[in-house]
Amino acid sequence: MTREEDDAARADAARADGSDREETGPDQRWAQPADEPRCPVHGIRREKHRVVVGSYEAARRFLRLGRASTQAGFTAERIPDRLFRRRPLLISDGELHDRQRRELARFFAPSTIDSEYTATIDARAEELAKGLSERGRIRLDEESLLFSVDIAARIVGLTASSTRGLARRLELFFDQPHADYSRPDLGRSRTDWALAAFRGLRAVAALYVCDVAPAMRKHRRDPESDVMGYLMDSGASRVDILVECMTYGTAGMVTTREFMGMACWRLMRDPELCSRYRAAERPDREGILREIIRLEPVVGHVYRRVGDAEANSSEFEPGDLIDVDVRAVNTDPELTGTCPMRLDPDRKAGRARAAGLSFGAGPHKCPGENLAIRETDALLTRLLALNPRIVSEPEIEWDSVIAGYRLRGFVLDVDGTGPPPKSS
C-alpha cells in the first residue's frame, strides 16, 4: 500500500469512528507508536504507575522547577551513583547538574558553533552531497549518521579514531531490551536486566578502548579546547569522561541522525514545502525545521520523578513518575494555535516555542538544539539542491528506552541510474 492509499484509509477510519477533526487532515504525524492515541490528551491524567502530562503550560512549568524532580528517563534510576565521581550531565540533578551545564554549554552555544564549527559543518555537508552526485545513490540514514557523529565528535574531542567505527560503537548502546516506563521495573524480567547490563557494558568497553582512551592520550600530547579537554583539566576521572562521551554520543549524535532523515523525508514528500525551503533564507529554513520537529520529536517522552512536594503544584505528589508526553504537548493548541497537527511553515509560535518541547525545557533542556538544527539545514540545503528522488521509503522503528523513532533504509538517488548503496 502506498503512503497516499494509507493516508486515505486512515482518514476513512477516522471519519467512521468520529475521531477525525477538520484541522488534522490524514496522517499529519508520520512517526507515532501504534499504542499511542492519534488524538492526544492535552491535560493531566493520573494512571496506575505514572502521571501523564500532555499540556504545554503544565509540562513547561513542571520541567522548569528543576530541583523539585529527578531524572527518571534513560533508565537513570537503575544506574548506581557509586559508579561516578560526578554523575553524568544527562542523569544528574541539583547543584551538580547546574554547574556542569554552565561549564559545558559554551561548547554548544550558537556563537561557538558559528565561529568555530560552521566551516567544518558546511565542508562535510558538501562532501556528502558530492558523494550523492558522483555515485548517483546514497542510503541517507547511514550517511547522516556519519555526518552527525563526525561533527559532534569534533566538539566533544573524540578525534583519535575513525568516524565510521565510532558511529557503529555508539549504535551498540541502543541494542537494549524493551523498556515500559508505565510498569514497575520498566516491565523487565531479571533476564532482561542481565541482558541490558551485558550489552551496556559491552558498548561501554568498546567505546573506552577504541575511542575515549586514544582521545585522552591525544589530548595529553596536544591539548584541545573541547569538551574532553575541559573535563581532563577539571580533574574528571576516566570513568566520568567515558560516561560524558557516551552521553553526548547517544543523546546527541545518533538522535540528530534521525531528525535529518525525518526532515528530508517530509520535505521531499511535499514539493511545495520543499520548494519554499530551498528558496528561503537560513532563518526561515530553520523555522521550517523546527516546525517539522515539533510534529516529529525524536524523543517522544520525558520522564521525571517528583521530589519535594512543596516545590510542585498540588497536581503531583512525592514519588510520582511524571511522563511528559512530548508528542501530545507539541500539538496542544495552547502552544500552536489552530490546526496543531498540520505542518504549517507560517505558524507564528516565536523561536523559543517553535519546536515545542522537542528539545526539552528547564535545566535538562538539550544543549545541542542549535547544533542539530544547524547541521540539518547545512545537509538538506545541499542535498535538495540536487533534486534527489526517493528510491526506498524509510521504515519506522521504535526505541523504547529513549521513547524515540528510528528511520532505516532511506535511499535517495539523483538520476535513477546509480548503483545500490553500500551499507556502511
For 281-295, what is the mean pLDDT? 95
* pLDDT at 293 exceeding the cut of 70: yes
Least confident of 172-186, 217-231, 300-314, 334-348: 300-314
Report which listed range, 1-15, 313-327, 383-397, is most confident. Answer: 383-397
Distance from C-alpha of 14 to C-alpha of 156, rounded to nearest angstrom: 47
* pLDDT at 376 exceeding the cut of 90: yes
| pLDDT: which is higher, 361 or 9 | 361
> Does the annotation flag 210 for ligand binding?
no
- pLDDT for 30 equals 83
- pLDDT for 130 equals 93
pLDDT band at 13 (very low <50, low <70, confident <90, very high): very low
- pLDDT for 85 equals 56
- Nearest residue to 288 (alpha-carbon basis) of 232, 340, 354, 352: 354
- pLDDT for 424 equals 39
- pLDDT for 1 equals 44
Least confident of 19-28, 58-67, 181-190: 19-28
Residue 143, class by beta-carbon neighbours within 10 Å (0-12 exposed, 13-18 middle, 19+ buried)?
Answer: buried
Report which listed range, 118-127, 170-179, 180-189, 400-409, is most confident. Answer: 118-127
- Nearest residue to 156 (alpha-carbon basis) of 257, 255, 260, 230: 230
Taken in order of first residue, the domains within the chain and their CATH numbers are 23-412 (1.10.630.10)
pLDDT band at 253 (very low <50, low <70, confident <90, very high): confident
The number of angstroms, rounded, from the C-alpha of 396 to the middle of its chain's C-alpha atoms is 15
- pLDDT for 72 equals 66
- Give me the chain's average pLDDT, please: 82
| pLDDT: which is higher, 260 or 234 | 260
| pLDDT: which is higher, 353 or 287 | 287
H, E, C per residue of the chain:
CCHHHHHHHHHHHHHHHCCCCCCCCCCCCCCCCCCCCCCCCCCEEECCCCEEECCHHHHHHHHHCCCCEEECCCCHHHCCHHHCCCCCHHHCCHHHHHHHHHHHHHHHCHHHHHHHHHHHHHHHHHHHHHHHHHHCEEEHHHHHHHHHHHHHHHHHCCCCCCHHHHHHHHHHHHCCCCCCCCCHHHHCCHHHHHHHHHHHHHHHHHHHHHHHHHHHHHHHHCCCCCHHHHHHHCCCCHHHHHHHHHHHHHHHHHHHHHHHHHHHHHHHCCHHHHHHHHHCCHHHHHHHHHHHHHHCCCECEEEEEECCHHHCCCCCCCCCEEEEEHHHHCCCHHHHCCCCCCCCCCCCCCCCCCCCCCCCCHHHCCCCHHHHHHHHHHHHHHHHCCCCEEEECCEEEEECCCCEEEEECCEEECCCCCCCCCCC
For 308-321, what is the mean pLDDT? 69
- Nearest residue to 326 (alpha-carbon basis) of 351, 348, 303, 292: 303
* pLDDT at 350 exceeding the cut of 80: no
pLDDT band at 247 (very low <50, low <70, confident <90, very high): confident
Least confident of 36-40, 56-60, 150-154: 36-40
* pLDDT at 198 exceeding the cut of 50: yes
Query: Would you tell me how many other CB atoms lie within 10 Å of the CB of residue 94?
Result: 13
Least confident of 230-244, 265-279, 378-392: 230-244
Query: Would you tell me how many other CB atoms lie within 10 Å of the CB of residue 2?
Result: 8
Distance from C-alpha of 184 to C-alpha of 49, rounded to nearest angstrom: 7
* pLDDT at 349 exceeding the cut of 60: yes
pLDDT band at 24 (very low <50, low <70, confident <90, very high): very low
- pLDDT for 310 equals 44
For 329-346, what is the mean pLDDT? 91
Distance from C-alpha of 173 to C-alpha of 200, rounded to nearest angstrom: 6
- pLDDT for 360 equals 83
pLDDT tens by residue, 112-130:
898 889 999 999 999 999 9
- pLDDT for 215 equals 96
- pLDDT for 390 equals 96
**Going by C-beta distance under 8 Å and a sequence separation of 6 or more, which residues neighbour residue 341?**
21, 23, 24, 25, 28, 29, 295, 331
Torsion over CA: 27, 30, 36, 40 (sign): negative
